[in-house]
Amino acid sequence: MIDLDFLRSVEVFKGLDDGHLTGIRDHCREKDFRQNEKLFSEGEDAACLWIVQKGQVDLRFDLPDRPTSTKNTISSIFKFMTFGWSSLVAPNKYRLSAYCATRDCKVIQIERANLIKTFEANSQIGYKVMSNLVEIIGERFNQLQDSAWTSSDAGVQITVHLATCGIVAGARAVMSALMDEMARADRPHIRIKSAGCIGKCDTEPNVTVEIEGADPVIYQKMNADKMRQVFEKHILAGEVQTDYALA
């Protein structure tokens, strides 16, 4: 039996009283999964809302003929967090696949049909849950917008600041040029990252280069050509391009 204390802490049930939570608990089903086991697949009918009780669930995109890996993870879901919210939002299809990312994980599954029935019988529950859901989607939207596109391995790290201000100033073209250079150079140890704003919107697009053993360098007002030059001269040859560095 699921503890009401646990349900009280679940983000999507915030603000519901014990009577409401007891009604929802009747529809909860606990399930266990082992590492890399798939909970659901991208494109499937989103029949259930899910909550993590223990462990971590990764939401990943699948690539044809390739095994799943953490590189395909778009977001990770932890205790008290909800996933599979497409079940409550038209067209009710899962948009990513869900995998158990820890040695084991325990999740709660609630069928959409039961939830909708509960909401329709008591619209106060429906109003609160849907309000929480809009808040959760809004937060994840902002996080995804600020920190998407991450790539692999260590050693050298290049961060393109892809917050909204950076994108407006042309950061996507900078990222695109960097990707081209990476593909051409075949240096898999270099780590590419995107991150949010560094608080210097007027010098965007900004790019931070971190090389082990050296101070980080922030480049300002970047464009595709400058990015290619920084990659060739600084990353590959070790010469900081002071003309473009933030003073």
Q: What is the torsional sign of CA 123, 48, 3, 54?
A: negative
Q: Which stretch binds another protein (CB under 8 A): 101-109, 131-139, 217-225, 235-243?
A: 131-139
Residue 246 interacts with another protein (CB under 8 A): yes or no: no
Burial of 186 (0-12, 13-18, 19+ CB in 10 A): exposed
Measure the CA angle with vertex 87, ends 84 and 92; round to 5°.
115
Q: What is the torsional sign of CA 103, 82, 1, 27?
A: negative
For 113, the token pair is 């049909």
Residue 15 interacts with another protein (CB under 8 A): yes or no: no
Residue that has been written with the tokens 């100033």 in this structure? 169
Residue 35 interacts with another protein (CB under 8 A): yes or no: no
Q: Which is nearer to another protein, 9 or 242 (CB)?
A: 9
Where would I find the H helices in the chain? Answer: 4-8, 18-25, 112-121, 123-147, 164-169, 171-185, 224-230
Residue 236 interacts with another protein (CB under 8 A): yes or no: no
For 235, the token pair is 């990353």
Other CB atoms within 10 A of residue 44 CB: 13
Site for another protein in 160-189 (CB under 8 A): 164-165, 167-169, 179, 182-183, 186, 188
Measure the CA angle with vertex 101, ends 28 and 160; round to 5°.
120
Q: Which is nearer to another protein, 138 or 216 (CB)?
A: 138
Q: Which stretch binds another protein (CB under 8 A): 31-39, 99-107, 147-155, 239-247?
A: 147-155
Of the candidates 148, 155, 225, 233, which one interacts with another protein according to CB under 8 A?
148
Site for another protein in 49-88 (CB under 8 A): 61, 63, 66, 71-72, 74, 85-86, 88
The site for another protein, by CB under 8 A, has a size of 49
Q: Which is nearer to another protein, 6 or 149 (CB)?
A: 149
Per CB under 8 A, residues contacting another protein are 61, 63, 66, 71-72, 74, 85-86, 88-90, 95-96, 119, 123-124, 126-127, 130-131, 133-135, 137-138, 140-142, 144-145, 148-152, 164-165, 167-169, 179, 182-183, 186, 188, 192, 201-202, 204
